[in-house]
Amino acid sequence: MTARRDIEAITERIRQRSKPGRERYLSRIAEASNRTANRAVLSCGNLAHGFAVCSPSEKLALGADKVPNLGIITSYNDMLSAHQPFETFPALIKDAAREAGGIAQVAGGVPAMCDGVTQGQPGMELSLFSRDVIAMAAAIGLSHNMFDAAVYLGVCDKIVPGLVIAALTFGHLPAVFIPAGPMTTGLPNDEKAKVRQLYAEGKAGRAELLEAESKSYHGPGTCTFYGTANSNQMLMEIMGLHTPGASFVNPGTPLREALTREATKRALAITALGNAYTPVGRMIDERSIVNGVVGLHATGGSTNHTIHLIAMAAAAGIAITWQDISDLSEAVPLLARVYPNGLADVNHFHAAGGLGFLIRELLDEGILHEDVQTVWGEGLRPYAVEAKLGADGSVVREASPRTSGDEKVLAPFNKAFQATGGLKVLSGNLGHAVIKTSAVKPERRIIEAPAKVFDSQQGLNEAFKAGTLTGDFIAVIRFQGPKANGMPELHKLTTVLGILQDRGQRVALVTDGRMSGASGKVPAAIHVTPEAVEDGPIARIHEGDVIRLDADAGTLEVFVPAPEFALRRTAEADLIGNEFGFGRELFAGFRQLVGRADHGASAFGTA
């Protein structure tokens, strides 16, 4: 009961804080709904351009507003495994729309970059900003005002948050998110990680490394570890933007196709032309956002969502903070162990009972808000199910199993892996930071050691190769924040620090950059804010300063007398090398406009 009261209290705190922004937002979408509820506001010339390639019957229907028109926003490209399956989705959606008496058009495409491809490369400095570009690209597609609802085809790291921001910006339209699903299980993630460490130590060659990576990332679908991409899918389901049970069904299967057809028909059914009008801006409220945060904690999800959820909520006029996220962590137990906080992958998680099981466990304990609206209708309870293929090829749903198929992967509430969630906010004289604790062993959650200071991840990797990273230490990697260089993920540090930890050294990381959703066993205080380039305290750390990272107490401190620390000059870094090449020169405006990490690191401002 205490946890339930805490959830309610935090939700009410968010509601009261958000009230002015939320009221302005709801007023705007009500006005948009009244002004643009149908195509009657378009001139004949507007309409002629909008349906020029449609059939005569479709032109007649669209011109008379007789049938709903579904806008498809797609992140398809055929280089990236998670997005390649979307190639066939528009044709499938159009066919399903016709069956339901509607029409569907591809409204626009959005870019989809892969953090796996760009890790440690210059392109990674565009990754975070791509979220806002995706939102803008989707807005351009929907700006034609031809649509009664939209479906969003997206999966990975920045794509789904960007699409959610766009959907909420067009909050007068119903929105259904349609996933592609995870790739089938390949080389286990822990075995892949071992080969990475051997390669870093010079004990394995590039051919062996490439073979291991290729066996792990081997086909269509999302990567199978529980990083940002699969955290996205969990969020879309637990927030009611997917149809029930849709998240973790593999691509290219009959069930995946049936779910896509069903989602199309559902999107058409909830337009203003029918009796179940569900504008997404009203559907997603403070309770939906809290449910998303609860799901993130219960599954040990990606640290990237401590940034993305703030930006997504802001698009709906809702103001959430890191403190809200941290306080919710204290009320939510960890129920899933999926790599990197376990050995299983998302396919194992899904087979053990998946989101249906987890949602039911949390609902039964009052840890989730049940009284929400979803694309499926009223209440979250209909999501406590397992989707299967019926004899006629349609989707059928059964109640989620009462027992977990594997309690080492998915635990019932009364056997939680830990009493609190997988994320925590750290505070102290170095500012604020986020740490993912779900994969860090309890004995490594408190590290006190001298600092080794670098201005790039390359600097640390070079020190490792030179053999100078000896003894216990806390690596400080600064000038990696959003204003400095776009806040790239520093996932390549995981391997090096993991090797040193395995050798018996007590090590940790403190950075104003990001780590991948795959960040794991090494304690890492990330997203430090204020960042170094904004004269944050991290820029006043000297080599050898003793730092204490205490994930249990939620503190991050440098042991330097306050008067001395305040008088230190902030370090400066030559960032000219981050300003040009690989398109980075086009994003200078983003680096100037972007907000702080704890405000969502957005160029669009806050709620």
DSSP string over 389-413: E-TTSSEEEEEPPSS-S-TTTB--G
What CA–CA distances, in Å, run from 352 to 199, 271, 378?
33, 35, 27
Q: How far is CA 86 from the centre of its chain?
A: 19
DSSP string over 534-593: GT-GGGG--TT-EEEEETTTTEEEE-S-HHHHHHSPPP----GGGSSSTTGGGGHHHHHH
In the chain, % helix, strand, coil (3-state, to 5) comes to 45, 15, 40
Map 311-356 to HEC letters: HHHHHCCCCCCHHHHHHHHHHCCECECECCCCCECHHHHHHCCHHH
Q: Which residue is associated with the tokens 């019926």?
A: 390
Is 223 annotated among the ligand-binding residues? yes
The Cα–Cα gap between 71 and 173 comes to 10
The Cα–Cα gap between 293 and 239 comes to 9
Q: Which residue is associated with the tokens 């892949």?
A: 192
Residue 69 corresponds to which amino acid? N
Contact 329, 297 (CB under 8 A): yes
Of 259, 257, 269, residue with least CA distance to 236: 259
**3-class secondary structure, 425:** strand
Contact 426, 525 (CB under 8 A): yes
509 phi, psi to nearest 5 deg: -130, 140
Q: Which DSSP symbol is given to 461? A: H
Q: Which residue is associated with the tokens 């959830």?
A: 7
Contact 345, 310 (CB under 8 A): no
Map 498-543 to HEC letters: HHHHHCCCCEEEEECCECCCCCCCCCEEEEEECCHHHCCHHHHCCC
Contact 295, 301 (CB under 8 A): yes
What CA–CA distances, in Å, run from 463 to 109, 200, 460, 470, 474?
43, 13, 5, 10, 14
The Cα–Cα gap between 519 and 438 comes to 10
Annotated binding site for [4Fe-4S] cluster: 156, 223
Annotated binding site: 156, 223
